[in-house]
């Protein structure tokens, strides 16, 4: 019998993570003899978790806050996106080496593609300049976006984020009205927060509006976008597709995103 391998997500806190439901559903659907767990790892111990992966022979790690930078420092090498972002959300084996990857940005681009929105040649505005925004900006630049406007309350953070893509620049919020794709990469609209990250008057029916927030799935921003006839992409798509890219790194095969999304939706429904 093939021994069952273990993959896990590390974070602090980690109890809220949908990763166990998403990954286990994909393993089971594909008949892969893997188990997925969640390990709460104290801040500052991300490097120790990487060493534990070596010692225990874990098949892979998903990495969430606050460990992405520490993990990037602890692996043997990084993929190009992780180098640019100086953080890793995935650890996989390549022979005897541990490789740190960043799948968030590419997962976001995949979610747009799944929704019928092509990034190549598009003008995009990204609201926010934190870790999620930076991963999106990096991936959009590599995917061929024509221009990326970075909108953030702190100009210095916006400058750092914009430096990740040659076509990115810091811009005022008013530019939203003229772009093809609007991305909310802030936490505005999460949970019971009914506020909007921008004025709905800046949105139009010719745009695609994406929100990285997935709780709730229909955020206030997406509801406002729907009212003006814009296309919308919810935050669960990025979560699912970045997880699919993690399994590709661990197993060499891409799982079924539909299975993963269904598992995520069931987990969210159970929480409600």
Q: Which residues are catalytic?
A: 68
Residues in Cβ contact with 258 at an 8 Å cutoff, skipping those fewer than 6 apart: none
Reading the block at residue 212, the tokens are: 């990285």
Spell 72-89 as b/e; 16+ CB within 10 A means b.
bebbeebbebbebbebbb
- Check if the beta carbon of residue 63 is closer than 8 Å to that of residue 71: yes
Q: E strand or H helix at 208, and its extent?
A: strand 208-211
Q: To 5 degrees, how large is the angle CA 110–CA 114–CA 118?
A: 75
- Check if the beta carbon of residue 197 is closer than 8 Å to that of residue 225: no
């Amino acid at each position: 019998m093939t021994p069952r391998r273990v993959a896990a997500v590390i974070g602090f806190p980690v109890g809220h993570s949908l990763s166990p439901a998403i990954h286990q559903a994909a393993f089971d659907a594909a008949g892969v003899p893997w188990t997925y767990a969640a390990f709460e790892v104290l801040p500052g111990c991300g490097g120790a978790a990487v060493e534990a992966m070596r010692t225990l022979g874990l098949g892979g790690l998903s990495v969430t806050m606050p460990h992405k930078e520490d993990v990037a420092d602890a692996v043997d090498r990084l993929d190009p996106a992780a180098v640019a972002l100086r953080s890793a959300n995935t650890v996989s084996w390549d022979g005897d080496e541990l490789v740190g990857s960043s799948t968030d940005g590419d997962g976001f681009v995949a979610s747009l593609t799944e929704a019928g929105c092509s990034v190549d040649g598009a003008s995009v505005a990204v609201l926010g300049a934190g870790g999620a925004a930076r991963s999106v900006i990096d991936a959009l630049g590599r995917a061929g976006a024509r221009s990326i406007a970075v909108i953030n309350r702190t100009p210095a953070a916006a400058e750092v984020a914009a430096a990740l893509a040659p076509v990115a620049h810091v811009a005022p919020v008013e530019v939203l009205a003229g772009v093809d794709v609007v991305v909310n990469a802030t936490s505005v609209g999460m949970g019971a927060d009914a506020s909007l990250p921008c004025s709905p008057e800046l949105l139009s029916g010719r745009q695609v509006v994406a929100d990285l927030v997935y709780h709730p799935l229909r955020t206030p921003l997406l509801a406002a976008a729907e009212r003006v006839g814009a296309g919308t992409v919810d935050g669960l798509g990025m979560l699912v597709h970045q997880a699919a890219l993690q399994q590709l790194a661990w197993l060499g095969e891409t799982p079924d995103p539909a299975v993963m999304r269904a598992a995520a939706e069931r987990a969210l429904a159970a929480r409600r």
